[in-house]
Amino acid sequence: MDDRAREPLMNQVPKGKTFDAGCVQCPRLAAFLAEVREANPGYYARPVPSFGDPKAELLVVGLAPGMHGANRTGRPFTGDYAGILLYETLYKFGYANRVGTADPDDGLVLKGCRIANAVKCLPPQNKPNPDEIKRCNQYLAAELAACPPRAILALGRIAHDAALMALGFKPNGYRFAHHAVHDLPNGMRLYDSYHCSRYNTQTRRLTTEMFEAVFADIAAYLGR
């Protein structure tokens, strides 16, 4: 299936300002994506939409598309190492109908969960700069307003800060730490976890048991 045929399946985001497939607000990222498309003609290499249940009670927020993951496939956490632990855990806790694969056409459906990123476009060296995070935050803010979840899981400090920014809260008073839980003034609950990246899991900064413990708390809170 070519990218244009796949796009309606991938873009499950409500219409409006929650996503713009043609966004070029960040010159550095737009130029980098153009280079990536030229070097890798088969890659998706565009802003990556969120994926999952549009009425999710849990929103998982990651950092940004990975070069050979979402940037290649067009679906968050699909095709790279970080997605293995995430989708296995989502399946174990009943948020997915199957374990995700590297194929975005694998029939994976999320139930009660949605996955977004703090930055929609692939950044060089996987490091968005503060201005890029701030510009892209409008989409996360719009998504949270259109489909407010009961719980947010931030994978890493950048995702943590981006979620707070999107909700209009300053990070002061909401310190990021693995397995930290923050009750927000708007009634939402923010959970923190180390990112499920290859580096974090291979160095055992984040283990399967640690990650599942966070999801167990979320499941208990949501009554699953």
Token digits for 84? 């293995």
pLDDT digits (tens, 9 = 90+) for 64-76: 999 999 999 999 9
CA 193 to chain centre: 13
Please, what is the average pLDDT of the chain?
92
Residue 165 makes CB contacts below 8 A (sequence gap 6+) with: 133, 134, 137, 141, 171
- Computed on alpha carbons and rounded to an integer, the radius of gyration of the chain in Å comes to 16
CATH superfamily for 20-222 is Uracil-DNA glycosylase-like domain (3.40.470.10)
* Type and span of the H or E element at 73: helix 70-73
**First-to-last CA distance in the chain?**
35
Give Cα separations from 135 to 127, 128, 129, 197 (angstroms): 15, 11, 10, 24
Q: Is the pLDDT of residue 6 over 70?
A: no
Query: Are 90 and 69 a contacting pair, CB within 8 Å?
Result: no
The pLDDT, as a whole number, for residue 16 is 46
pLDDT band at 115 (very low <50, low <70, confident <90, very high): very high
Nearest to 78 by CA among 56, 48, 112, 58: 48
Output the pTM of the full model.
Answer: 0.91
The pLDDT, as a whole number, for residue 10 is 35
Helix (H, G, I), strand (E, B) or coil at 148: coil
The pLDDT, as a whole number, for residue 51 is 98
The pLDDT, as a whole number, for residue 17 is 83
Give the pLDDT mean for 27-44. Answer: 97
Q: Which residue has the higher pLDDT, 94 or 9?
A: 94
pLDDT digits (tens, 9 = 90+) for 117-165: 999 999 999 999 999 999 999 999 999 999 999 999 999 999 999 999 9
The pLDDT, as a whole number, for residue 159 is 98
Token digits for 99? 């374990």
Strand order, beta sheet including 58-62:
51-52, 113-117, 58-62, 151-155, 189-193, 181-183
Enumerate long-range contacts of 12-17, CB under 8 Å, 24 or more apart: 12/49, 12/50, 12/51, 12/52, 12/54, 13/49, 13/50, 13/54, 13/143, 14/54, 14/143, 14/146, 14/147, 16/142, 16/146, 17/138, 17/139, 17/142
* Percentage of the chain modeled with pLDDT above 90: 90
Query: Are 134 and 163 a contacting pair, CB within 8 Å?
Result: no
* Percentage of the chain modeled with pLDDT above 70: 93
